[in-house]
A = this chain, B = another copy of it.
């Protein structure tokens, strides 16, 4: 009877370059991180490719790499086993080896798919994220999470695989559809309430979506602040065993709304926006936040045309609340904001509290919302 043991340590370093004009420096960043010659495979989708693929491929080629491109379909439906299999095979067909770099050029879906493919191709190849949506720039492209969906839910399989480089250039947002921009702002609002009230001040200063589009310096500052917060939190808690869970403010209800909706009509940020309102009502109901919080959350969201209620029946949401892959106990977990910038976690709040919070975001029931 022998007992043996060993331990392995894996260190992943992620460097981020954030600022308007950073795309022009992508070639130099790649050369510094991954000396050529080698292959770089740009993974993007059919929405982003017409705007940015040629530019990125020429940057890659001019930097001395063999450039390949693999297109995946746009939208959440692309995060499927079938598309992942095709992506793997196309990456392999380029002659990829362990030195090949996967460059994800797109929003959250492209980042999740390309990230998972990079994490698993030949048991792991380097990944670079060049996010083109606001949501990806401030959130999804940072932190190493990736994954695909299964019939039982979103992101149920995936890995943690840190991108070696993330290049965040707000210039890329110029081609983003307006609804996608609004959706991304929901995550910006989230950072404001969870960590940094100054973000909410900046949003109010911009006034509304038109105001924001007219003031790129505010967009730049918002992006920079959100990236900074995300980096700080991930650096301390990559695997979401602690504070990273706070970034799920609005996501308990948000995920339930997306699931009940069959991911058909609501964008992720829209669902999170409504979810933050629900979480604000819950916080008040639990006595954790002042009664003014729901109105404060609602006010910021409505400035940017984000929804704050849903017509989905409360009872249709309940079965989806507990389906959270982080839970180890079958109970729902809620991020509760006490005041802007101060958030905590509540495990398994009373069912009646949850039901009142969900009733408060039901469109027909807004006037019946708990007065708190």
Residues of chain B with a CB closer than 8 A to A31's CB = none
Q: Are B16 and A5 in contact (CB under 8 A)?
A: yes
Stretch at the interface among A149-157, A203-211, A362-370: A149-157
Stretch at the interface among A85-93, A183-191, A258-266, A336-344: A85-93
What class of interface size applies to chain A in its complex with B?
Answer: 35 or more
Task: Name A86's closest neighbour in chain B (CB-CB).
Answer: B81
Q: Are A325 and B97 in contact (CB under 8 A)?
A: yes
A7 at the interface (CB under 8 A from B): yes
Greatest chain B CB density within 10 A among A12, A21, A123 is at A123
Q: Are B159 and A120 in contact (CB under 8 A)?
A: yes
Binary interface encoding of chain A residues 77-111 relative to chain B, with 1 for a CB under 8 A from any of its CBs, else 0: 00001001100110011010111000000000000
Chain copies in the assembly? 2
Residues of chain B with a CB closer than 8 A to A7's CB = 11-14, 235
Task: Name A100's closest neighbour in chain B (CB-CB).
Answer: B328
Q: Are B145 and A123 in contact (CB under 8 A)?
A: yes
Residues of chain B with a CB closer than 8 A to A152's CB = 89, 92-93
Residues of chain B with a CB closer than 8 A to A5's CB = 13-16
A227 at the interface (CB under 8 A from B): yes
A180 at the interface (CB under 8 A from B): no
Residues of chain B with a CB closer than 8 A to A84's CB = 81
Q: Are A238 and B8 in contact (CB under 8 A)?
A: yes
Q: Which of B9, B95, B120 contacts A157 (CB 8 A)?
A: B120
Residues of chain B with a CB closer than 8 A to A18's CB = 1-4
A234 at the interface (CB under 8 A from B): yes
In the complex, A127→B328 CA distance in Å?
A: 16
Residues of chain B with a CB closer than 8 A to A3's CB = 15-18
A224 at the interface (CB under 8 A from B): yes
Once A6-B235, A9-B10, A231-B4 are accepted as A-B contacts, the answer to whether A123 and B147 lie under 8 Å apart by CB is yes
Q: Are B122 and A156 in contact (CB under 8 A)?
A: yes
A22 at the interface (CB under 8 A from B): yes
**Shortest distance between the CB of A286 and any CB in chain B (Å):** 24
Residues of A with Cβ closer than 8 Å to B?
1-19, 21-22, 38, 81, 84-85, 88-89, 92-93, 95, 97-99, 116, 119-124, 144-145, 147, 150-153, 156-160, 162, 224, 227-228, 231, 234-235, 238-239, 325-330
Beyond the given A4-B16, A97-B326, could you list 4 further A-B residue pairs with CB under 8 A, ordered by the A residue number? A3-B16, A5-B13, A5-B15, A89-B151
